[in-house]
Structure 1
């Protein structure tokens, strides 16, 4: 059986790449730390580190093991926190996974505001995770609800989901751009224009997908800049550095220096789904899910809280 203490020691050494620094961080001496790492490797039958006089480096197996060990320790911390809260007679709090779109569309902040008004003593832990990590968290019961850019796999027997939002992409360009005064913008007008592409950390092939979507619509973007998120893209557009496709939810009100145009021929949206385990263990989870599914921003296609038995794919 794995020893969580040894796993914490391993993670510290892996992150520091040095036994001395890891020992200082853990407030123990080097000799017992080295023995614990050696014992872990012996128990696993696995070499986790390549050793030299200067530093330690993870082996390829060690890197895989580090990823899983980190996830297990995160889950153990959540489980310990849950147990302590239950032991004090509380409802256990909530662990919520999310992606950035859940925040800037207002869905998650609105739901949390309602929760705070109804249950001001509930502790909420928020985890910014990929969709795959959130689905695994739901399966392991370390997350209570996930807000993700895609639905769980069709064949998953444990997870349910509902579409919360389809957020249309609109064209944002510098107000000084010659196209800003046009009433209608056609695909050929955008061909070869300087563009600001918005990164998608959830999708490794995001750049190729963006270019392919533009090409399918009839134009080729000249990508000059890459923005980490939509607000940065808007700031760059306001500075006259290019145009971008930005979710409608990011364009509420006027943005100085930016002109926004709808493109009827470009029917692309950013989607946001809620996902959860089919079995609710605590009433607070059921209640919070109903709150999320009934926020003001929820799309008409999303079902109400009564559809927990049937996924919306």
Structure 2
């Protein structure tokens, strides 16, 4: 049987790569920490760390074990959170997993606002995590609902899903760019332009997918920078460093330093799905799911930044 305390010790040493610093972080002395790590390795029959006089670092097997250990510890934290809420009589508590898009599209904040208005006493715990971890959380019942960019497999025996919205991608370019004066932009206009590619968390081939979609639409992007998220991409575009494709919900708050155009010939969007366990154990979960599914998806209908309609 795995000892969660030992797993937490192991995770701390792996993160710091130093027993002394890990001991300070955990508020224990080095000797018992070293003994606990050694005991864990003995119990597993596995060498987790390579040790030298200068440092301690994970073995290849240790790195694989760390990934799973972190997932287990996160699940344990959520389970403890649930148990404490139940212990306090908060049967209406909710654990919600979400992707960043659920926040900036307004879907999750809107649903939480309605929940607070209708049931102000319900405690909500939010967890930002990859879709695969959200699905596992639903299966283990440590999450009540997941908001993700991709649904689970259709033949999944446990999980159910429903689409929430499609957030179309728009072209964002510096306000001073020559193309900013054009109401209509073609694929040929974009060929060879400097681009800022926006990462898709959890997708290891996101860059290849982006380039392939551009080529299929008739242009080849010259990717100069990778942005970790749409907001970062908007900032880089505003600084004149390239063009980007950003979902509609994000450009509403953009500055006059960027221009926005719809590309009717480039049909791509960011999708959001609600996913849940097929068995409802608590009425509050079903009620909140209905709130999410019925919520209005208002992405805004006002003019785009810089007074440009962009055909939207």
User: How does the TM-score come out when normalised to structure 2?
Assistant: 0.90
Matches within 5 A, 1:175-214: 175-214=175-214
Once the two structures are superposed, the pairs formed by residues 1-313 of structure 1 within 5 Å of their partners are 1-91=1-91, 93-252=93-252, 255-297=255-297
TM-score between the two structures when normalised by the length of structure 1: 0.90
**Structure 1 residue 92: Cα displacement:** 5.2
d(CA) in 1 for partners of 2:209, 2:241: 22
Q: CA deviation at 1:253?
A: 6.5
Counterpart position of 1:305: none
CA shift at 1:297, angstroms?
Answer: 0.7
CA distance in 1, matches of 2:69, 2:166: 36
Structure 1 CA distance, aligned partners of 2:212 and 2:93?
Answer: 43
- Structure 2 contact 172–258 (Cα < 8 Å) conserved: yes
**What is the distance in 2 between the residues matched to 1:265 and 1:9?**
54
Gaps of 5+ in 1: 300-313
Q: RMSD of the TM alignment (CA)?
A: 1.8
**Deviation, structure 1 residue 238:** 2.7
Per the TM alignment, residue 204 of structure 1 is displaced from its structure 2 partner at its CA by 1.6
Q: 1:170 to 1:48 in 2, by over 3 A?
A: same
8 Å CA contact retained: 2:280, 2:286: yes
What whole-Å deviation, never above 9, does each CA across 1:1-58 have from its counterpart, x for those lacking one? 1122222222222222222222222222222222222221121111111122222211
Counterpart Cα distance in 1 of 2:43 and 2:92: 35
Q: What does the per-residue CA deviation read over 1:112-133, in whole Å, with 9 as the maximum and x for residues that have no partner?
A: 1111112222222211111111
Q: Give the secondary structure class of the aligned counterpart of 2:286.
A: helix
Question: Which aligned segments of 4 or more residues in structure 1 are displaced greater than 6 angstroms?
Answer: none
Equivalent residues, number: 299
Going from structure 1 to structure 2, the CA distance change for 1:14 and 1:237 (only over 3 Å counts) comes to closer
Instruction: Check 1:259–1:2 CA distance in 2 against 1; reply closer, same or farther (3 A cut).
Output: same
What's the secondary structure of 1:25's corresponding residue?
Answer: helix
Task: Tell me the secondary structure at the aligned position of residue 115 of structure 2.
Answer: helix
Unaligned runs of 5+ in 2: 300-312
**Distance between the aligned counterparts of 2:240 and 2:32, measured in 1?**
59
Change in 2 beyond 3 A, CA 1:143/1:154: same
Deviation at 1:254, TM superposition (A): 6.6
